[in-house]
Amino acid sequence: MNLVALLRERAALHPDRPALIDRHKGRDRSVSFAELQQRVQSGNTRLKKLGLTRGSTILVFQPVSIELYEILLAAFHGGLRVMLADPSAGRTFLSLCCERLPPDAFFGPWKAHLLRLAVTGLRRIPRAIRSSGYFPGTSIWQTDDSPSPLADLPDEEPALITFTSGSTGVPKAAVRTHGFLLAQHHALEKALDFEDGEVDLITLPVFVLANLASGLTSVLADTDLRSPGKADAAAIRAQCKRHGVNRCAASPAFFEALLAGPGPLPELAKAYTGGAPVFPDLLDRLQASLPQSEVTAVFGSTEAEPMSHLGAREYDEALVALTGSGHGLCAGTPVPEVELRVIRDHWGQALTKLSPEEFDLLAQPAGQPGEVVVTGDHVLSGYLGGIGDSETKIHVAGKVWHRTGDAAWLDTEGRLWLLGRCAAKLPAAPLSRPDLPEGALDYPFAIESALRVRHPGTRTAALGWRGERILATAAAGLEQDAAEFGITRVFRVAALPLDRRHNAKIDYPALLKMLE
């Protein structure tokens, strides 16, 4: 089934309801479901006139805007593939992405086309489409052509391709099919409690597709989404008030910025946060600021979104105390749409194919740490060309299990407790803690979460360095607490380096360079 068929249904049900609202050059813009459907149909005709047909690939470098979703949906409408790559990853990485999957067209505003002059792989793309302005040798994007019919597509038809870099730096292409995106929509619809007619503030662009399919109005946040930790709280508050926003899903850094900004939070009935560690103190502060609201932490990844969730009120004093003692960060109960297991930590070893009996033997009982594996309709079953599959996929009797790379344990009530990345395992702890799951302190996040509970708002990074278990932090006075978790040295740094995407995860490679 073509994903865009759901947009067509929504346009018929409520044609005049706003589908997308953005802020452009200081003014609000809005497009209804019926208008968006018309633009998508006409946009696909434009793509055909430019020589692009089913199976063609368009590399899109368009900021989050109405135009971004016009090109995405117009491509999906006709069975074209949209390819996304992060420009900040560097010129070499972008060229490697284009080698992995040579695009047939490049789409973006005129400024984005300047990048084509600087990157070899981008210069080789045969067609160039500009969404705005003027640039020599490009064709203008138009949505006023005659409508084209919706392509009838199988579930396994590729729709969206994104690139990530593994430890080798070789791009891995995650291919989301129409069937995958539909399954993800159904999982998100349940996990995020979508209700027809809600107005959602968008900070995580991939959620727009699920919103459109469910009839929600998506308000694209009036801030630079490349830096969620620097969100303009005043602009966001005003935007939410103008459009009656009543829900939001965003990274912890975004909500921290709103909490730190002037004035109260927007009046949200539902607030979801994830994409980076969600600590109990943030949930407490959000719930205190939104006392009548549902505040929920969501755990997921590029390959499996969502995997589990936990309400702020569920993270009670008893669970917080467990986090503070080194049990890890509670990520809640797995969503019904995934099967989730914790197996013995074999990270770095291939487990490509196992019999059901062999797989069952790997499973850890409740209370025992290991690596998290998941399977389900909205769990990515493989990468383009199989690059990355051997490290991250396990085939068991027709099912493909995805190895998340996260270390965790399950308690007797089925809740997932995160301990850290398997690849970041620390040197063995020089102490025994029988009150903790065996081996919990072998992972950094159990320690970082415990220190965050004991020192709210403090950011720390536990890691192995020159054979030692060390802690890096900008805060003072953590030595005694850190020693309880087997940390032998504490380094003071001016600031911990963070990831570019969410401004919330520790950039460990950059931190190691700082320490050296």
Residue-wise pLDDT tens digits, 12-25: 999 999 999 999 99
pLDDT at 168 over 60: no
- The confidence score (pLDDT) of residue 225 equals 85
Q: Is residue 109 part of a domain?
A: yes
Q: How far apart are CA 5 and CA 73, in angstroms?
A: 10
Q: Is residue 333 part of a domain?
A: no
* Average predicted confidence (pLDDT) for the chain: 94
Q: Is residue 89 part of a domain?
A: yes
Residue 237's H or E segment, with its range, is helix 233-243
Cβ 401 vs Cβ 394: under 8 Å: yes
Looking at 156, 177, 198, the residue that finishes a domain is 177
C-alpha dist (Å) from residue 290 to 245, 246, 315, 468: 14, 11, 16, 43
- The confidence score (pLDDT) of residue 174 equals 93
Which three-class secondary structure state does DSSP give residue 53?
Answer: coil
- The confidence score (pLDDT) of residue 89 equals 76
Residue span of the structural domain in which 110 resides: 5-177
pLDDT at 195 over 70: yes
- The confidence score (pLDDT) of residue 167 equals 47
Q: Is residue 173 part of a domain?
A: yes
Residue-wise pLDDT tens digits, 271-298: 999 988 999 999 999 999 999 999 999 9
Q: pLDDT class for 337, splitting at 50, 70, 90?
A: very high
CA torsion 32→34→38→43, rounded to 10°?
40
CATH number at residue 140: 3.40.50.980
Both tokens of 33, joined, read: 């479901």
Looking at 109, 142, 177, the residue that finishes a domain is 177
Pairing of strands 57-60, 81-84: parallel
CATH number at residue 466: 3.30.300.30
Q: Is residue 94 part of a domain?
A: yes
Note the Cα 164 to chain centre separation in Å: 12
C-alpha dist (Å) from residue 139 to 67, 106, 135: 15, 10, 9
Cβ 314 vs Cβ 296: under 8 Å: no
Residue-wise pLDDT tens digits, 90-108: 889 899 999 999 999 999 9
Lateral strand order in the sheet of 127-130: 139-140, 127-130, 105-108, 57-60, 81-84, 158-165, 171-177
Residue of 417, 445, 414 whose CA lies nearest to 334? 414
Length of the chain: 516
Q: Which residues pair with 172 in a beta bridge?
A: 164
Which three-class secondary structure state does DSSP give residue 288?
Answer: helix
Residue of 243, 246, 305, 312 whose CA lies nearest to 280? 312
Q: How far apart are CA 424 and CA 419, in angstroms?
A: 10
Q: How far apart are CA 444 and CA 415, in angstroms?
A: 20
Q: State how many domains the chain has.
A: 2
Q: Taking the model in full, what pTM does it have?
A: 0.94
Return the percentage of the chain with pLDDT > 70, whole number: 98
Q: Is residue 341 part of a domain?
A: no
- The confidence score (pLDDT) of residue 166 equals 53
Q: pLDDT class for 406, splitting at 50, 70, 90?
A: very high
Q: Is residue 381 part of a domain?
A: no
pLDDT at 469 over 90: yes
Q: Is residue 427 part of a domain?
A: no
- The confidence score (pLDDT) of residue 502 equals 65
Looking at 142, 177, 212, the residue that finishes a domain is 177
pLDDT at 165 over 70: no
Residue 277's H or E segment, with its range, is none
Residue 75's H or E segment, with its range, is helix 66-77
219, HSE (Cβ side, Cα atoms, 13 Å): 24
Q: How far apart are CA 494 and CA 475, in angstroms?
A: 9
Pairing of strands 460-465, 468-473: antiparallel
